[in-house]
Structure 1
Amino acid sequence: MTAGIIPHLVNLPHTRVTIASHHLAAAPLPGTTLMRPHDVARAEPDVIIGGFADDPDSEAFWTSAPTTDSLASHNPVCIELSTISPGWAEDWHNHISGHGGIPVECPVTGSRPGATTGTLSAFLYTPVQDDRTETVLAAFTAHRYAFTRPGNPARFKLIYNAWGASILHSLGVFARQLPAHLGEDYPIAARAVTTDGWMSTIAASKLPRVERQDYADPDFAARHMLKDLEHARDLLGALPLIDLTADAFAQAVADHGPYADFTAVADQGSAS
């Protein structure tokens, strides 16, 4: 997703984009500069955008001495796009504010297609309204939902993702019944379920990829959904539907690999 966001930032007027990465060997686009995360203060950032795989990676960057130094010296807007746990989200707000930065908790949804087209949806909380925040988020989001408490964007995103994951898992369970029970009439059934009734929007967006078994180029990796489900389970407690869905995603990761597209959960090789 980060790769889809960067071109929109590069196109902002009067903006210099520096990528801080442990993994990249070269700057991904003309007009961008590459540096290692420990050099972030050298960039003298006005805005720092974070996108991390999990809580430990997020915490390691934001609480590192170089990043903390840049908060005190430049008072940047700090936008955390990652899906993180509510506990770390609250601690993150305290850390950023306590060292001079402006925290913007901002998990996003829309996966790679939304990032590429600049139409992500953002769930955000910030204690300070700043023009820099609006300028940057307007570059790659189409909708922004402002919450009123720190940690609530994280809580909502986890529930939102778990809800969507369970719907996708159920799509796979029932979609597999159609060819098994209808045989040569499967194309008729598939056309009905993807064009008629309230379920058609979901089925039309995901069933074709499942039919093609096209999981190699992910819009959203199965391992990331599994991580989000584990956080959702911590938040919501014992819900059988989350347990079933998490088990199905764990099986999808085992069957198709951690970076398979999350629609792999609907594949016949996944748990049902």
Structure 2
Amino acid sequence: MTTVGIPIVSVLGAGVIASGMIENLQKAGIVVHGYNRTRSRLTSLLSNECIFETPRDAAAGALAVISCVSDDLASSAVWTGPFGAFMGMKGDAMALECSTLSVEYLEEWFRIADAGGIAAMDAPVTGGRTGAQKGRLSFFIGGREGELQAEIVRLLSVMGSRSIYFNERGHGMKFKLAYNAMGAAVIAALGESMALVKQAGIDSSAALEAYSCYGLGAASTKPKFMAAGDYGYVECSIGTLMKNAEYAMSFAAMADLELPVTSQAYRQYVIAADAGMSRQDVAAVHETVNSASIK
């Protein structure tokens, strides 16, 4: 699990968050082995010998295997099956699932890990592109403080500025879905607010300053992008937040709850995705207020 005393960490994925993780781990002197379905996305991050053809090979000899991928299907593809990461993990290596996934899938993921005698923990992240690049991610950990080995805690501190322990397996992911339900609703509501500001002819520079008074981060940072119609700098994409809201509603159904605000927000993201905005930043949901209405 080390190379001449240097720990090896395997990272599965090469998206915005995973790329930031890789860069910060390497800055800390940690050897990173990577796998991504599209190999070329890793070539600017890792040397050729550190990029592997299968998740199983990438996981071999690693102290920790970290997955940060798009959804349930992508997670299953990197962890399970004969070439999955679980097949390459040995000894006391730790599996950390940092993606945002459905509760139903996570339960199956734990079942497979348990069957293989693999230590596994949910640790979904928040912080977006900026947090990933600057090593300021927040981890929502489905376990108790003290359960993780000191080496794993250090890895988390390299990639993030905060780890919050939810004391029970799976509860980090469950909270992440609740957290994203809030985010989906807030940003959709902000899009409507900005549309009202524009329609009323309110001074945009004054409005942007005033939005910064609001406590929630998105309400302070997204208005400038909505005002400019600039959605190219992607902190979190429309497609990703739409998926997260869908998983949150599925979780709510399991708990026999209805989420009317989240459901309404979800429909806005569907409109945006159907309009070709799936890969744009979530701020683009603002465009749906004028282009289509929800009945």
* TM-score of the alignment, normalized to the shorter chain, above 0.5: yes
Q: After TM superposition, what 4+ stretches of structure 1 lie above 6 angstroms from structure 2?
A: none
Q: 3-state DSSP class of the match of 1:176? A: helix
Matched to 1:124, the amino acid is I
- Could you say which residue in structure 2 is the equivalent of 1:223? 239
- Could you say which residue in structure 1 is the equivalent of 2:112? 95
Note if contact 1:255-1:269 (Cα within 8 Å) is conserved in structure 2.
no
Report the CA distance between 1:77 and its aligned residue. 1.0
Partner Cα separation in structure 2 for residue 81 and residue 149 of structure 1: 16
Report the CA distance between 1:24 and its aligned residue. 2.0
**Residue in structure 2 matching 1:121, options 138, 141, 147:** 138
Note if contact 1:10-1:31 (Cα within 8 Å) is conserved in structure 2.
no
- Could you say which residue in structure 1 is the equivalent of 2:100? 83
Partner Cα separation in structure 2 for residue 245 and residue 41 of structure 1: 38
Report the CA distance between 1:257 and its aligned residue. 2.5
Matched, 1:253 2:269: no
Note if contact 2:33-2:59 (Cα within 8 Å) is conserved in structure 1.
no
Note if contact 1:169-1:265 (Cα within 8 Å) is conserved in structure 2.
yes
The alignment-based identity, stated in percent, is 23
Report the CA distance between 1:191 and its aligned residue. 4.4
Of 89-98 and 240-249, deviating more is 89-98
Q: 3-state DSSP class of the match of 2:33? A: strand
Report the CA distance between 1:249 and its aligned residue. 0.4
Q: 3-state DSSP class of the match of 1:148? A: coil
- Could you say which residue in structure 2 is the equivalent of 1:146? 165
Q: 3-state DSSP class of the match of 2:43? A: coil
Report the CA distance between 1:70 and its aligned residue. 2.0
Report the CA distance between 1:113 and its aligned residue. 0.5
Q: 3-state DSSP class of the match of 1:4? A: helix
Matched, 1:186 2:208: no
Report the CA distance between 1:180 and its aligned residue. 1.4
- Could you say which residue in structure 2 is the equivalent of 1:61? 78
Matched, 1:269 2:291: yes
Note if contact 1:172-1:266 (Cα within 8 Å) is conserved in structure 2.
yes
Q: 3-state DSSP class of the match of 1:79? A: strand
RMSD value, Cα: 2.2
Partner Cα separation in structure 1 for residue 78 and residue 212 of structure 2: 46
Partner Cα separation in structure 2 for residue 205 and residue 270 of structure 1: 24
Aligned pair count reads 267
Normalising by structure 1, we get a TM-score of 0.89
- Give 5+ residue unaligned stretches, structure 1: none
- Could you say which residue in structure 2 is the equivalent of 1:236? 252
Q: 3-state DSSP class of the match of 1:22? A: coil
CA pair 202-43 structure 1, distance change in 2 beyond 3 A:
closer
Note if contact 1:230-1:246 (Cα within 8 Å) is conserved in structure 2.
yes
Report the CA distance between 1:168 and its aligned residue. 0.7
Partner Cα separation in structure 1 for residue 157 and residue 292 of structure 2: 38
